[in-house]
Amino acid sequence: MKIGIVGSGAMGSGIAQVVAMAGNDVCLYDSNPIALEKAGANLEATFQKLADKGKISLEDSELYFNKIRLVNKLDELSHSELIIEAIIEDLDIKKDLFQKLENLVSEDCILASNTSSLSMASIAASCQKPNRVIGIHFFNPAPLMALVEIIPAVQTDPALVSQTKSLVESWKKLPAIAKDTPGFIVNRVARPFYGEAIRILEEGVADCATIDYAMTSLGGFRMGPFQLMDFIGHDVNYRVTESVFKEFFYDPKFKPSFTQKRLFEAGFYGRKSGRGFYDYSENAIQPEPNTNPELLEKIFKRVLIMLMNEAADAYFLNIGSVEDIDVAMTKGVNYPKGLLAWADEFGLQNLEKELDELYNFYHEDRYRCSPIIRRLAKENKTFY
């Protein structure tokens, strides 16, 4: 298959690597020749490294690299059967790009966006043939992360969904089909991992190190929420939180925090800037967590309860199936268990009770229990 990719940054070049290694011919486009040259050098080095480690043969490393053609003229993508854009998360810029692409390609070419949270319906509406537009959302780094969210717009041809799913599987990725709502599955369901952790910090229950330790030691998460936000960067993570809050018509569940907003405003983006929730300067002494078992359990349970509730609500509102939601969270952000399977283990009656206790204490909408938890608990049923 001839695949065009727009944007040669980390995501675009990562997608190029994935689809080339699956045997496709790739045109990687970027208007910036310096960025394009850098992407080419990085891809060549990556294939060489894979060969050096014995993961692929030297012949295959050359074959895969030669399947990727670097181009700086958009019309070079005119023969593509599928184009995936991986550019800046700006709706107007994406819409303008899709209008240009539609005038270049054949009527059968699939136009896909790698957007992580923008409206696919809005992107599709910019095209004369919106039925061929679909979301194909990879996770960073694309070669390593198994999940790909597939997001049909309301205008998307239903047959294109199954076709795209087969394509994603042919790239040796795991597809999860998501409804076209802000954040899709992963960026919606993951919000409490950050938001509730910050709330616990703001209330003075524990510091960052203790909250992170609770989630990694008791929950088995690879990184704690503050470590992860610093790793992602507050310029990215805060903007996503702000966008999801706005796009959900200011639902209090997704309300951003002033704590993170101030870090963002100060330019304390995390690891990339040398300071975020933690200090990453050379001689900085990292804080030690409080290892009190009762405190750690309290923290872990509160964050987990909020995550399970959000996953349940995503299912209740048909954002994804039970299986797709759990696959999305385990393969998209490496959660140790699917949140709905975890909710079954926790006990839905227990989950309902814990959420009601939080709501009765705070009287805030963020703690409202999802109706599907109440229904299943009442009927003594489970998600699985």
Residue numbers annotated as active site: 116, 137, 149, 187
Please give, one letter per residue, the 3-state secondary structure of the chain: CEEEEECCCHHHHHHHHHHHHCCCEEEEECCCHHHHHHHHHHHHHHHHHHHHCCCCCHHHHHHHHHCEEEECCHHHHCCCCEEEECCCCCHHHHHHHHHHHHCCCCCCCEEEECCCCCCHHHHHHCCCCHHHEEEEEECCCCCCCCEEEEEECCCCCHHHHHHHHHHHHHCCCEEEECCCCCCCCHHHHCHHHHHHHHHHHHCCCCCHHHHHHHHHHCCCCCCCHHHHHHHHCHHHHHHHHHHHHHHCCCCHHHCCCHHHHHHHHHCCCECCCCECCCECCCCCCCCCCCCCHHHHHHHHHHHHHHHHHHHHHHHHCCCCCHHHHHHHHHHHCCCCCCHHHHHHHHCHHHHHHHHHHHHHHHCCHHHCCCHHHHHHHHCCCCCC
Is there a contact between 304 and 342 (Cβ–Cβ < 8 Å)?
yes
Q: Quote the crossing angle between the two packed helices 225-232 and 191-202, to the nearest 10°.
A: 120
As a whole number of angstroms, the distance between CA 93 and CA 177 comes to: 25
- As to burial, measured by CB atoms within 10 angstroms (0-12 exposed, 13-18 middle, 19+ buried), residue 100 is middle
- As to burial, measured by CB atoms within 10 angstroms (0-12 exposed, 13-18 middle, 19+ buried), residue 27 is buried
